[in-house]
Structures are given as structure tokens and as C-alpha cells.
């Protein structure tokens, strides 16, 4: 009986350690990118990204850039970034996210883009990182089946802020799997 108990404790510690490692977010300084936060090789979220930073994104092993900025935002340069992505062989997807009035199909478009095999791993960004991280949190709950607390912890590490947290939580609560 005590062997079984020890085995269960060891398994529990292993799973806890694996969970902590699976959600490891690292912050990096990348020239031309604000607030870069990478979740191992799965995804990275960031803020404003200049076209000249795109080759570095490719060198880091990302297959795509998912830009959730609106083209009308100051400094967004969506077309220039898309051209830079194409020039280095990255897929580029723009899913504009207006915080004041999100499009009804925003999350569906984002999830379709981020789960598309040829887009993984993906670099997701907006102006500061909050919109990108909020959409990633929703994806974790809706697609990956994560519980809300775990997804919230990861999204916060990736850049979720108090301004976007209600959007993500409201969406999750109103769109149960």
C-alpha cells in the first residue's frame, strides 16, 4: 500500500513539474518588437512589431505571423509587415481586433488561423500584447480544453492585461464548449 502511495506522490510531482514546464513563458528583447513573450516553441505574443523584425521571427522558427491590429491604428503598417513576412516565407494573417466593438466572428477567425497546421508555431501580436494574449487564452479554453485558471495564468504571462481580461473571460463564459 505504501508503494502505491509513493508511486502516486511521485506521479503527482512529475505531472505538476510537467505542467509548470509546459506553460513556461520567457520574455525576450527582440529589436523592433515590444513586449515579446514566448511560450516555448508553441507560440509567442508581442506588441507593436516593425517590418524589419520579421526576419528575426522567421529565424526563431515561427511559421506565421497573426497580426490582430487594425490597419487604421497609428503605426500598424499591416501591409508593410505582410510584405516582409511574404519576403521571408512566413504566412501572414490579419485578424483585426477592435476592443470597443469586436467583430462577431473575431474569435472564430483567430482560432481558424492559429490552429491551421501550416501556421504553427505562430507569432501573434497587437500593439502591446493584450489583445493577442486574450485571444490565445480563449483558444486554450475553447480548443485545448484548459481550465480557466490555467489559461488565465498563461495568458497573463504572455501579456494579458486588466483591460482585455474581461473580454476573454466574458467570451469564455458566454461560449461554453
Mean of pLDDT values over 115-123:
97
Predicted confidence band of residue 41 (pLDDT cuts 50, 70, 90): low
Whole-angstrom distance, CA of residue 165 vs CA of residue 24:
20
Asked if 88 and 54 count as a contact pair (C-beta separation under 8 A), the reply is yes
Does residue 4 belong to any structural domain of this protein? no
Does residue 168 belong to any structural domain of this protein? yes
Overall number of domains in the chain: 1
Structural domain span for residue 78: 24-174
pTM value? 0.85
> Hey, how many other C-beta atoms are within 10 angstroms of the C-beta on 15?
10
- Domain at 72, CATH number: 3.90.190.10
Does residue 7 belong to any structural domain of this protein? no
Asked if the peptide bond before residue 39 counts as cis, ω within 30 degrees of 0, the response is no
Mean of pLDDT values over 119-145:
97
Does residue 62 belong to any structural domain of this protein? yes
Predicted confidence band of residue 42 (pLDDT cuts 50, 70, 90): confident
Phi, psi for 35 (deg, rounded to 5): 55, 50
**Ramachandran region, residue 159 (left: φ > 0; alpha: ψ -120 to 50; beta: rest):** left
Does residue 18 belong to any structural domain of this protein? no
User: Which pLDDT does position 24 carry in this prediction?
Assistant: 86
What pLDDT digit, counting tens, does each position of 66-106 carry? 999 999 999 999 999 999 999 999 999 999 999 999 999 99
Does residue 144 belong to any structural domain of this protein? yes
User: Which pLDDT does position 175 carry in this prediction?
Assistant: 94
Does residue 14 belong to any structural domain of this protein? no
Does residue 19 belong to any structural domain of this protein? no
Amino acid at each position: 500500500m505504501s508503494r502505491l502511495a509513493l508511486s502516486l506522490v511521485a506521479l503527482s510531482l512529475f505531472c505538476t513539474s510537467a505542467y509548470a514546464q509546459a506553460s513556461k513563458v520567457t520574455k525576450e528583447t527582440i529589436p523592433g518588437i515590444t513586449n515579446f513573450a514566448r511560450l516555448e516553441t508553441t507560440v509567442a505574443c508581442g506588441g507593436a512589431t516593425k517590418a524589419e523584425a520579421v526576419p528575426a521571427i522567421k529565424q526563431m522558427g515561427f511559421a506565421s505571423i497573426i497580426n490582430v491590429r487594425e490597419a487604421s491604428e497609428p503605426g500598424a503598417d499591416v501591409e508593410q509587415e505582410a510584405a516582409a513576412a511574404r519576403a521571408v516565407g512566413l504566412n501572414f494573417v490579419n485578424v483585426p481586433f477592435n476592443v470597443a466593438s469586436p467583430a462577431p466572428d473575431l474569435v472564430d477567425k483567430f482560432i481558424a488561423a492559429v490552429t491551421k497546421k501550416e501556421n504553427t508555431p505562430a507569432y501573434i501580436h497587437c500593439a502591446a500584447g493584450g489583445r493577442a494574449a486574450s485571444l490565445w487564452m480563449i483558444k486554450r479554453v475553447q480548443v485545448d480544453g484548459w481550465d480557466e485558471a490555467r489559461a488565465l495564468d498563461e495568458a497573463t504571462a504572455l501579456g494579458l492585461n486588466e483591460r482585455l481580461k474581461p473580454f476573454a473571460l466574458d467570451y469564455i463564459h458566454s461560449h461554453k464548449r
